[in-house]
Amino acid sequence: MKKNLLILLSLVLMSTATWAGRKIERPKLVVGLVVDQMRWDYLYYYYEDFVEGGLKRLVDEGFSCENTMINYVPTVTAIGHTSIYTGSTPALHGICGNSFFEKGKSINCCGDPTVRSVGSDSKAGKVSPRNMWANTIGDQLRLSNDFKSRVFGVALKDRAAILPAGHSANAAYWFDKSVGHFISSTYYMQELPKWVRDFNKQHAMKPGDDPKMKPEGVTLTFKMAEALLENERLGSGDVTDMLCVSISSTDAIGHEYGTRAEQTVAAYKQLDKDLAHFLRVLDRRLGQGQYLLFLSADHGGAHNPNFMRQHKLPADGWGTGNTVKAINQRLAAKYGVDNLALGHYSDFIYLNHARIDSAGLDIHEVKREAIREIEKNDKILYAVDCENAASAPIPQLVRERIVNGYNRHRSGDIYALPRSQMFTWEFKDDYIGTTHGEWNPYDSHIPLVFFGWNVKHGATTKPTRIVDIAPTVCALLHIQMPNASIGDAIF
């Protein structure tokens, strides 16, 4: 009996020792790379022009989710970056646009009057992630090991650096064109680290120059990311670190010149070349297969309407601002009160609740009158009362995206659903640029490629969504998904 007990005890101790010696395997570093305004089809439209080792390497060696869609409206930068890293939508994470109205006041998505710039005396640093109501992959990563992981954000745009990095990030850096270099905010620090000051001296631009309008802005962003990687020694510790990088020049150039311009082609060729170099840096510093990288986009972009018309494809604009004026005229004529429509963002129309309340009007009746005015425009398919969007008589997919994009504290009251390929403004015959914001595939179909640590080569055309990115990364890391995540891990 004693012998049997000794054998049993021995087995228990061996099992305990084996379990105690086990360690959850994780990569040294997670890199999130978001390319602003990158349509999904650019992976293949430019494929033959890509160099070996850049975007072609991701496609040829990584795992591509070929049918990843944005499941909300509007499809814009701040929301896209937030949704990628939170796994959520405006209804829950609170970022409803690059700017939005809250309690009748227009605010910047990252605006924060309680902080100041670090690295300049301008207003460009009076920003933080505080307007975001959810946490991110990086926040969850830091929570998972009692904040030992280090998380950083880098971009030319403030919102593209701040929102991905999350609330507990060690730092975020963005470009202040008024001084010609990267800055930060007192939300993160009181002064720039020496390595950032040295980088700024080496790569200073003339104040007023905007690197977002040049392919060189892509290179500058990658150089800053590489300097951060080296000087902060990311991936060199006992826990996983995270680097969130966003490429902003592709969006600014796309807006100015459209989807088929030589300037846009040059920007994506530069992106490809710089990515190839950055991947070599990661391979050298961390080792191939020792880091996990994902590439995606915050939104796509519509083809230029004049370009479409030249090829007998329908395209037009409907003038959101003019619609707001028409609503105000109708409501003033009916109720004798001016300016009952506050403004618009993308296709959302905001009503002035303070004026409606003070005039003793019924908000529901005012909405109905506004909707009647909007629906007079034959370029609009439907005008939807956002509070009741779930029961609107429109296709389920579009209805779901309106519901996901509507936040009752910060979104507009009415969503105007235009015909496809319809811009929110009237344009001239010489207009060559583009925009984004709609539910349609040209704005909502985005690339999503996972690469590196524990990722096997392959692809899927099964439906995936922008909100699936965060839970997928968290599942690979064996950590809890962000606290407002509504996505599903992709496997």
Convert the pLDDT of each residue in 124-154 to its tens digit. 999 999 999 999 999 999 999 999 999 999 9
* Tens of pLDDT, residues 428-477: 999 999 999 999 999 999 999 999 999 999 999 999 999 999 999 999 99
* Tens of pLDDT, residues 179-233: 999 999 999 999 999 999 999 999 999 999 999 999 999 999 999 999 999 999 9
Q: Which has the closest alpha carbon to 248: 223, 217, 285, 289?
A: 217
Give the largest CA-CA distance in the chain: 98
Q: Is the pLDDT of residue 244 over 90?
A: yes
SS3 category, 458: strand
Residue 119, Cα to own-chain centre: how many angstroms? 25
Q: Which has the closest alpha carbon to 434: 258, 315, 268?
A: 258
Contacts with 396 (C-beta within 8 Å, 6 or more apart), sequence order? none
Residue type, 254: G
pLDDT tier for residue 23 given thresholds of 50, 70 and 90: confident
Torsion of CA 89, 91, 96, 100, to 10 degrees: -170
Contacts with 316 (C-beta within 8 Å, 6 or more apart), sequence order? 305, 379, 419, 421, 422, 423
Q: Is the pLDDT of residue 18 over 50?
A: no
Q: Which has the closest alpha carbon to 99: 91, 88, 111?
A: 111
SS3 category, 351: strand
Token pair 């990267």 is found at: 182
pLDDT on residue 3: 47
Annotated active-site positions, please?
77
Q: Which has the closest alpha carbon to 274: 325, 238, 220, 319?
A: 220
Cα–Cα dist 10/25, whole Å: 28
Q: Is the pLDDT of residue 35 over 90?
A: yes
Pair of tokens at residue 99: 């700017």
Cα–Cα dist 324/386, whole Å: 17
pLDDT mean over 325-344 = 97
Task: Determine how many CB atoms are found less than 10 A away from the CB of residue 185.
Answer: 25
SS3 category, 342: strand
SS3 category, 292: strand
Mean pLDDT in the chain?
95
Helices 262-286 and 216-231: angle between axes, nearest 10 degrees? 10
- Beta strands in 164-319, from DSSP E residues, in sequence order: 171-176, 181-185, 241-247, 291-296, 316-317
The DSSP output letter for 119 is S
Cα–Cα dist 291/288, whole Å: 7
